[in-house]
Amino acid sequence: MLFHMKASDQIAVVVMILRYACLVCAMIVPLGACLLGQGRNYGRSMVISQQGIAATSQTLASSAAAQILAKGGSAVDAAIAANAVLAVVEPMKTGLGGDLFVMYWEANTGKLVGLNASGPAPKALSPEFLAKLGFKSMPQSGIHSFTVPGAVEGWAKIHQRYGKLPWKDLFQSAIAYAAQGFPVTEAIQESWADSAARLKDHPESVRVFLPGGKVPKVGDVFRNPDIGHALRIIAEQGPEAFYKGEIAAAILKTSKKLGGTMTAEDLAEYSSEWVTPISIDYRGWKVSELPPNTQGVAALEMLNIMEVTPASPLGPFSPAEMHKRIEAMKLAYADVRRFNADPRTYDAPVSGLLSKDYAKKRAALINPQRANCSVLNGDPVGSNTTYLTVVDKDGNMASWIESIYEEFGSGVTAEGMGFILQNRGALFTLDPHHPNVLAGGKRPFHTIIPAFMERGDQHIGFGIMGGANQPLAHAQFASNIIDYGMNIQEALEAPRFTKKNAGGCDLSIESRVPASTLQQLSERGHEIRIRREYTQEMGRGQAILHDSETKTNYAASDPRADGEAIPEPIVR
């Protein structure tokens, strides 16, 4: 009932409940005893091991990755195995038809490398083509939102450099779950039900993902032999089959049937790209993201703006600290939406956006007592997704994110192959003056971002999913650790806010934020929507910390998802 009230009424009720609880406690025992008896303020313990660990959003995927580690596989081997299982068990969020970004930390050299495996628009897709079809803005679903899927080629490229086990061995768990089926878990069922409408116009998608015309219930065993067939082809024939062989033919047949523009040449020519991560220093920690066409620069700019003033001594959920985080987020998002695009076609002003002087200028625009509802971008020139992370026994770390963008992507399923085609093209604009304007062969602006942070012997691979939510969630996570001394599980579980764009004063906040903070934020002009204690709207994260001195690994998994962190079993 609480979540259907107006925000102001919700806040008043929460304040009243908390005041009553404190009054009752004080009547029974001294107040100090009430506070001391509360224990820690997060639920799960970290998983700690000197073996490798895999942390994903679904237990079956974590288990598959841990088994690969136990067989002597590298962090990359385990990540590919986990990603393949997630393609089966989280079909609305990830899969063979999506894109991939990775940051990989080499333990022996201390080097951090990046891989951009995002695909371009078909060469024949253009604003003029869409205009002839009557589109005045980028289609958000359907075949014309589909871009070349980069994930499978990205798997192969990073496996070639860092893999240890044979390629075909990495897909066996995923193939088995596709054929034998798996019980649908709670968070996945919720996402399935919420996004099933995207499938209704596509008979192949309905056939595969709505068995009997219905969304599977929690505990229902779901089977997808078609994706099992596709995975078996990839395991046996390699990525060539996806871009030139039987799977490519199925993609092209599906596209042609729906009037799409994808060609055999578009698929065959695709190649992912090694990139250099971008980074900032935040209060003595090096925080890294991937460069454009991802939105990683927004997370770093947000942290830079937050760093201009000290963290509030009253804690991360104090009115002053949350207000600063929210306003810093708006400023950073206004910039990333204006300046981010494929770097092969546009020289984004990354160094300007990440300069400390520019951060000071942007921070000066924050009114500590009032929310800004009309945020404009600055001028820096002169100045539903699946994330997983794995560490192997040698300390190598993979920070790994793969997605079909919105839940169930384009809504279109590759005929006979059981996987959804992504809708990454939805993130293009048709504005001819914007750097992210649609063009054939060009990669769109991307929301998915893996992250990494380190100081001394502490190295953390982390990511928090959820479209536009990701940069602001990254910044909140990093600040929780750096400014407030939280461990990675506490930082991941901590209540978060989210907002989809820079404009307006609306935002969503989990109800675990203190009622007094919600009240004061409302008084400063923030239009608050109070959400459940743990909601997928805030993203679903994973994190692993490797201590290179003690060789000990610490892992965290977000309770907002169905996953867990599972250590590598010792094989005797």
DSSP 404: -
At 9 the pLDDT is 55
Q: What is the pLDDT of residues 98-120, one digit of tens each?
A: 999 999 999 999 999 999 999 99
Question: Are residues 369 and 515 both part of a single domain?
Answer: yes
SS (HEC) of 317-345: CCHHHHHHHHHHHHHHHHHHHHHCCCCCC
Percentage with pLDDT > 90 across the chain: 87
Q: What is the pLDDT of residues 129-171, one digit of tens each?
A: 999 999 999 999 999 999 999 999 999 999 999 999 999 999 9
**Of the listed 254, 261, 385, 429, which one is catalytic?**
385
CA pair distance 78, 72, nearest whole angstrom = 10
At 378 the pLDDT is 84
CATH number at residue 352: 3.60.20.40
At 501 the pLDDT is 85
Q: Does residue 10 register a pLDDT over 70?
A: no
Q: Indicate the pLDDT class of residue 2, thresholds 50, 70 and 90.
A: very low
Question: Are residues 503 and 376 both part of a single domain?
Answer: yes
Is 510 within the bounds of a domain? yes
Q: What is the pLDDT of residues 256-270, one digit of tens each?
A: 999 999 999 999 999
Number of domains in the chain: 2
Nearest to 418 by CA among 136, 193, 222: 222
Question: Are residues 176 and 239 both part of a single domain?
Answer: yes
DSSP notation for 247-293? HHHHHHHHHHHTT----HHHHHT---EEEPPEEEEETTEEEEEPPTT
Q: Indicate the pLDDT class of residue 384, thresholds 50, 70 and 90.
A: low
Question: Are residues 346 and 457 both part of a single domain?
Answer: yes
At 30 the pLDDT is 37
Question: Are residues 411 and 351 both part of a single domain?
Answer: no
User: Are residues 487 and 498 in contact, defined by beta-carbon separation less than 8 angstroms?
Assistant: no
Task: Locate 560 and state its tokens.
Answer: 């907002």
DSSP 559: T
56 is annotated as an active-site residue:
no
Is 460 within the bounds of a domain? yes
Is 243 within the bounds of a domain? yes
Phi–psi pair at 178, nearest 5 degrees: -65, -40
Question: Are residues 121 and 217 both part of a single domain?
Answer: yes
Question: Are residues 222 and 279 both part of a single domain?
Answer: no
* Domain housing 251: 51-273+403-427
**Residues in a beta bridge with 362:** none
Q: What is the pLDDT of residues 412-467, one digit of tens each?
A: 999 999 999 999 999 999 999 999 999 999 999 999 999 999 999 999 999 999 88
Is 13 within the bounds of a domain? no
Is 40 within the bounds of a domain? no
Poorest-pLDDT segment among 14-18, 246-250, 324-328, 336-340? 14-18
Query: What residue type is 499 in one-letter code?
Result: K
Between the alpha carbon of residue 510 and those of residues 223, 407, 513, 517, 556, the distances in Å are 34, 22, 6, 12, 20
Radius of gyration of the chain (CA): 23
Question: Are residues 371 and 500 both part of a single domain?
Answer: yes
Q: Give the strand pairing for 552-557 and 564-567.
A: unpaired
Q: Indicate the pLDDT class of residue 202, thresholds 50, 70 and 90.
A: very high
Question: Are residues 167 and 211 both part of a single domain?
Answer: yes
Average the pLDDT over 528-545 and give the result. Answer: 95
Is 423 within the bounds of a domain? yes
Question: Are residues 191 and 313 both part of a single domain?
Answer: no
Residue 506: enclosing H or E segment and its boundaries?
Answer: strand 506-510
Is 379 within the bounds of a domain? yes
Q: Does residue 65 register a pLDDT over 90?
A: yes
Question: Are residues 353 and 488 both part of a single domain?
Answer: yes
Is 71 within the bounds of a domain? yes
Q: Does residue 83 register a pLDDT over 80?
A: yes
Exposed/middle/buried for residue 164 (C-beta within 10 Å: 0-12, 13-18, 19+): middle
Question: Are residues 411 and 553 both part of a single domain?
Answer: no
